[in-house]
Chain A
């Protein structure tokens, strides 16, 4: 019977915690919807949001009988994007300020949780943690602590200046990157605004931090230099349009990338995983340094395929590896046990 009550209390606690005011920030940050209202469908939300932005930008908008504003289809969508980005800046600033506030009040709560489990209810209420009606049992206490620690270990455990500089820098880069592009219509505007909003989502921030940490660890601080965007461009279809010789694009500076081909942005971790899956190597998306298991497997594969042995993925070797991926996408499913067997099949 006690066990049942424990489960009931745990579930109640989890529900209460999940429903607490402000916890949507923990889960979603400023939210992935441009306009959030449960009563209106997502498409209509976008219309209403853009209508408000149009009004903010002083652009022609249509006011409906219910007072909602819609962008005129002839709107200058470039201005809508600019006004929308300013609005998102405002939301993002509020979110970052909230994060800072939570981070500052976080540590004392955790210390108290660890020290005085029996007094948790009072402590949580006193520190305004937003958790009401917590009638704690041992199990429920564990859940409460874990919930808090898990939330804490996401963004709240990071230095506020780190988060802030990453977000602001990413926002600035985004604005710089789209400077030369044009929003011709509503879908364009939505696309640009979604991209901008994404920068402030918790998982984007976490990824930026992880990325930075990983790059610094692997390649040192110099590797954090800016690169020009490679893929964010429109395909040229006018044969008379003049163009400059394309730049080198974004290059990986990971020390385990040993050739120009390996340093390409198109030479992604996903591509490495496909190579590993084809060559019967442990799939981790990392080529590794010279002499690594994956590189040795590449050498074995080439040798068995009748090519000169190489453990470096050059332009030529990448072609052979792509052929392997095409012929044997999954080594194990093909009944093979090593890269030599894959190579022999291609010979």
Chain B
């Protein structure tokens, strides 16, 4: 599968960065420098991060990764593996410097033969797509989010929360919960509407 859009790439980068505790803008900037965010053969190697096969094999020898058959030619797998490589480089750098570090220092650590100069421009270039990914993630995570005009752009109070509550009440929908009619029979499920959070906790 090819990278269909930069936004799709940014969404994947954001998820992998969150999983491995690295900066998504760094991952995206590296891909920008090394392949122009493309999953074809790059001048530096294969895929968006231009990884060479030997480095890939070495990374997969790590116990964190060896359980899964990641493939160098799959761009999503490249993001997963490069996020782990970056995470390990971060840990090594923190140990070496014993202080916080910059993306420039991290890049030099990971690509010691390359100039750090293109990093500044690459970060500028990818900022809009990472910002977009952050916004999309925020909207998906927060059902009550509004846009700048005050319109609801999240799912709203019903949505998935309503579905979940509906399930808890076994009545199937948010409205049953909201009307307070769920669980009115003695054999039925508990009626949460009349309970306080304190009572539920107790």
Contacts and interface: CB of A to CB of B under 8 A. Distances in A.
Chain A bound to chain B: yes
A165 to B, nearest CB: 8
Contacts of B17: 246
A221 B201 contact: yes
Interface in A225-284: 230-233, 235-250, 260-261, 264-271, 273, 284
B141 A265 contact: yes
Contacts of B25: 235-237
A153 B137 contact: no
A235 to B, nearest CB: 5
A271 B140 contact: yes
B178 A154 contact: yes
A327 B138 CA distance: 25
Contacts of B19: 260-261, 264, 315
B134 A284 contact: no
Instruction: Please classify how large the interface on chain B is, using the bins under 10, 10 to 19, 20 to 34, 35 or more.
Output: 35 or more
B150 A33 contact: yes
Contact of B138 (A187, A216, A231): A231
Contacts of B91: 245
Given A198-B146, A243-B23, A245-B90, A237 B127 contact: yes
Interface stretch (B42-50, B51-59, B101-109): B101-109
A239 B137 contact: no
B188 interface: no
Contact of A203 (B15, B77, B156): B156
Contacts of A239: 102-104, 107, 116, 119-120, 123
Given A210-B162, A266-B14, A316-B68, A246 B123 contact: no
Contacts of A157: 180, 193-194
7 contacts: A42-B149, A153-B193, A270-B140, A315-B16, A316-B77, A316-B80, A319-B80
Q: Please provide the 10 A-B residue pairs with the shortest distance between their CB atoms, ordered closest to farther.
A: A316-B68, A319-B76, A269-B160, A159-B196, A242-B100, A266-B15, A239-B104, A268-B140, A231-B138, A239-B119
Interface of B: 1, 4, 8, 11-12, 14-19, 21-23, 25, 68-70, 74, 76-77, 80, 90-91, 94, 99-104, 107, 116, 119-120, 123-124, 127, 130-131, 134-135, 137-138, 140-141, 143-144, 146, 148-150, 152, 155-157, 160-165, 167-168, 177-180, 192-194, 196-198, 200-201
Given A153-B179, A211-B161, A266-B15, 19 more contacts: A32-B150, A194-B146, A207-B143, A207-B161, A210-B157, A210-B165, A230-B18, A231-B138, A235-B131, A236-B23, A237-B25, A239-B123, A243-B23, A270-B140, A315-B68, A316-B69, A319-B74, A319-B77, A322-B76
